[in-house]
Structure 1
Amino acid sequence: MMVRRADDRRLRLVLARPTGWIAGGELPARRAARRRDVAPFGTEMLDQLPEQCQHGESLVLLLDGPGCEGMLVTGAVAGMVPQGSDNPDLMDRAAVGASVFLREKLRTEKRQQLPDQLIGYFEELNAADCEDGVWRALASHALRIVGAHMALTLVHDRARGIVRAPAAPDARPGEHRPCIVWDDRLSTAGLLLSEDARRGGTAEFAAPLFGDPATALLAHVPVSDEGVLVLTERREERIFEPEDWDVLRALALQAEMALRRVRLIDSVRSLSLTDPLTGLGNRRHMEVVMAHAWAAARRGEPLVVMALDLDGFKEVNDTRGHDAGDRMLCEVAAALRAEARGSDVLVRYGGDEFLVILPGSTVDGANALAERVRRRLDGAVGISAGVAAYAPEHETPESLIREADRRLYESKARGRSLVS
């Protein structure tokens, strides 16, 4: 969840009479209104204004000059407005004009900043290495580019029928994340008002997003069917311009493309580290994991490696065919997944041999795992195992794996379905 500001902007309207001095020179009021490079009021009048009103983009000056027109100034923008002593609603009409001028000024500033802001957004998307990183980049940059009180992204969980904010990088386990029930209205861009989200309203599902009583409205833009970008605003007069919606849709489209890229990279990475038949890790995966486990073992953490081999696998392939052998390998892989701990790493080492890396475990723990796997297979296939625990005399990870292999073949030499 991204929050940009705590307080809303308020305009100050100052009514003054011109002195006739424009940047040190005497110019007619009408001519001054067309000049954008000079201040349309004199230095004498500036001295008469309160110091806190002489600076800041929220300052609006209404210059009440002779004739039927006056000048309205906000920042670098100036324009003519009807005026005169016979117009009692001059200040009200001037305030409306000031709001329009200020909005145009802010719109111009946003257009000027947009190219650099989009470049920053694209760079962050390209650097994202996970889906949560893409969602966070979308929320933070949408808030910065379009503007609102708060921005967040909600990811679609179709199985549970909800949309939920992704976890923050430093989130604690069980930390609350904004979550609402999915509604089909979120599949298209639109606005929801606070009264719609009240009990009995037409958008009651969005009530959790209006937890701040000052929140007046909510803009939502879908990101394909993956989730939704949400911007909330506290000011009731806040208007999302057509160009704001165009920018929000463009940001969402770029996020969608970034999500596809991240998933493609994850898929390629998974293929490079996964055995395609059993879905277990392959030798490359084993090398990556062992490098970390080995470093921990050198620091004193327990580490055990278990090698498993199927009994009579060659006979199965020869007599029943390779399809039957493949099904047997998958059955063993499924049994290993069911019985191993979450921290254990399962690897198809080659052929009918499997390797289990057990960080923080013991030889007894590995033996118990082998027995549980054997019971789960219930005689469908026999397995033999060899277990080796890290010791200072092991110089490399390969030496530990070789010892587990040696003990595996000792088990097979003594008879099938044994553990050494």
Structure 2
Amino acid sequence: MRCLGADAASLSRFDRAEGITRVLRNHGDLAPWEEPRPLHETYRIDGWRNLVTVLLQGRSWTGTLDDPDLPGPDRDLLVSLDKYAALSSPVFVGGQVWGELYVTRRAGRPPFEELDLMVAQTLMGLVGAALRHLQDRAVLHELAYRDRLTGLGNRRAVDDRLERVFARDPLAAPVGLLVGDVNGLKEVNDEQGHAEGDRLLREVARVLTAEVARHPGGLAARIGGDEFSVVLEGVDDEQMQEVTKRLTAEVEALAVGDGLSCGFAVAEQRPGGAPSPAAAGRALLRLADAMQYRSKRQSRATRNGRVADGLGTLARHQIGAADRAAGRELAGRVLTAVQAADGDTEERLAALAASVAQGLGAASWWLSDSDGRDLVIRRGEYLRQGDLGTGTMPVAAGDRYPLADYPASAAVLRGGVFFATLEDGHSTERAFLAANGYVSMLAAGTTRNGVGWLVEIMGDAVTQPLAPHEGLLLALVELAANGAPGGR
């Protein structure tokens, strides 16, 4: 402070993951509201043009109350501090902006000049070197929640944030999760070198930091090599769509790379009735990730001259010779199993579900009936439970699911079929898939003697395509419910 002839000085730490700077220490001639070691003095960079200059662009600035170009927030801050002139300089640690030095002078003192800027930059270089030494000693703690290349949070930070959000039951506010892949990173690395690829990742991180600064409590993270995410609270689908548009446009405008493929999901409660906060966080991530892959496929189709919106429909209804052959084999296998089943409708439908699941390499099958209010699971089997993660409770006989929460299931109980994936289908069915570690679901219903029955076949990454067998499953369920030809 003495080297710069300042009357007061503040040192702040920049949090890229949340788009805010936290004041660590205030010293000198302080305003009545300032504290030497504040606990809660933070500034969100959104709306502070000069903070963006310092923290995201790494450039110093000076200004005075007499300057007509001084932005309003900076002017208001100087007035509240009862000061006339300000100088701000970035603190670099390891080549990235670590924080900010902000010094001020009272009225009657001269403004800061170019020489003061040079002195401040030299001093902050020394401070940065000292901080680097201290940071190296705490590197293991830093690595636990931070991505070292970009300064954003990492996957663990996202998991912990979502777990804290879903620990509130009910949620205090809806939570949105965006997942985005950087397009063209491999090409940049291959053609221009990994240093340029790293620069692209840092530029994308800068864009995400500026975005989360718009949203109190937001978190930006790099969760994989070219994969980023943003967690926002108190948002709906429309707001998340606007965030997605801004991010894709700004990354598209970067000098390198080929834009950002984004997908998002919003939850107002634990998705799919996930039994624990950790399981709910994993389910939301699966939903957002699925929509991100859908966006990437649509972008690829658009570049190839195809109609992106028709991809899902074409893939679902174009059945080739291999699918027809598989269907014939499956029908024969199932009819044999149903004819061999003893007992009533439940026995026959259970034999059908087990045979279909085994024939398609499904992850599990479930048979439920309905009393008009709930679906009640009567039988089922995990053929592959998969990695559902800690805290996830498997589906079991006797579990009840309110029909009002699962409209697609309720709609087919009198006879019908539906297919859902993590990308397509009613939101509650998609959430159920995500919460239970599945990627697709084929279900058919029927009513027998006033009782509604539902057969569900759950698919994972290794299951054969389920969609081509919608019509076949519906026909087989009707046959089994009424007694298959040649059966009892």
- Please indicate the TM-score interval, normalised by the length of the shorter structure: 0.3 to 0.5
- TM-score where L is the length of structure 1: 0.38
Larger Rg: 1
By relative contact order (CA 8 Å, sep 6+), the higher-ranking structure is: 2
